[in-house]
């Protein structure tokens, strides 16, 4: 979502800049040479078309609905694309300490991968939940219990303000001997 927002924001800004520049050019052209106006935008014909419209016109209502839907889409996109920080315990009341979910996943993943029985592992973290998926050559249930303990120990070492739920799944893979 953040990538989409990073693409849309400059496009909207460019669109507004072009519209603003067009308005300035048309205004200056009208002031300097009224006979040469309009330069780019056919605003006299647009003005004549708009003069006959009222708030009850179907086209006015359709444009209002489209603008409202686009505005709502942009608002929702901005709300969804916000940063999802993981809050840590504040050292003093005036200081707020956060980390990224990626950093939390990296810390947990490092401890999970350092386990002797783990062949590979992936960790996804958020402020509410940490999901660990690991592969092992040994029986999965034994490794799952020890990995769960290891993740719990890692979370106890970290000064998290709120402890996330933990889900650990382990699969047994066939190794090459």
Distance CA 152, CA 132 (A): 12
Angle subtended by helix axes 58-80 and 2-32, to nearest 10: 140
CATH number for the segment(s) 97-172: 3.30.300.20
Distance CA 76, CA 29 (A): 40
* The pLDDT of residue 83 is above 80: no
Tokens of 99: 């980390």
Q: What residues have CB less than 8 Å from 153, skipping those under 6 apart?
A: 111
Residues 37-47: pLDDT tens digits? 788 888 788 88
pLDDT value of residue 85: 87
- For residue 95, report the phi and psi dihedrals to the nearest 5 degrees: -120, 130
Q: What residues have CB less than 8 Å from 77, skipping those under 6 apart?
A: 1, 4, 5, 8
Averaged pLDDT score across all residues of the chain: 88
Residues of the chain with CATH 3.30.300.20: 97-172
- Predicted TM-score (pTM) of the model is 0.58
Residues 47-69: pLDDT tens digits? 888 888 888 989 999 999 999 99
């Amino acid at each position: 979502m953040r990538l989409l927002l990073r693409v849309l924001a400059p496009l909207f800004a460019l669109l507004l800049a072009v519209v603003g520049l067009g308005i300035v050019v048309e205004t200056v052209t009208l002031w300097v040479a009224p006979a040469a106006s309009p330069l780019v935008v056919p605003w006299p014909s647009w003005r004549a078309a708009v003069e006959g419209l009222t708030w009850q016109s179907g086209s006015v209502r359709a444009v209002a609905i489209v603008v409202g839907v686009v505005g709502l889409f942009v608002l929702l996109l901005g709300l969804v694309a916000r940063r999802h920080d993981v809050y840590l315990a504040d050292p003093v009341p005036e200081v707020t300490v956060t980390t990224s979910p990626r950093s939390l996943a990296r810390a947990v993943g490092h401890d999970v991968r350092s386990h002797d029985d783990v062949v590979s592992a992936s960790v996804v973290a958020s402020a509410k939940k940490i999901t660990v998926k690991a592969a092992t050559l040994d029986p999965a249930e034994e490794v799952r219990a020890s990995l769960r303990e290891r993740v719990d120990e890692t979370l106890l070492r970290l000064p998290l303000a709120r402890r996330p739920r933990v889900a650990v799944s382990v699969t047994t893979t066939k190794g090459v001997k």
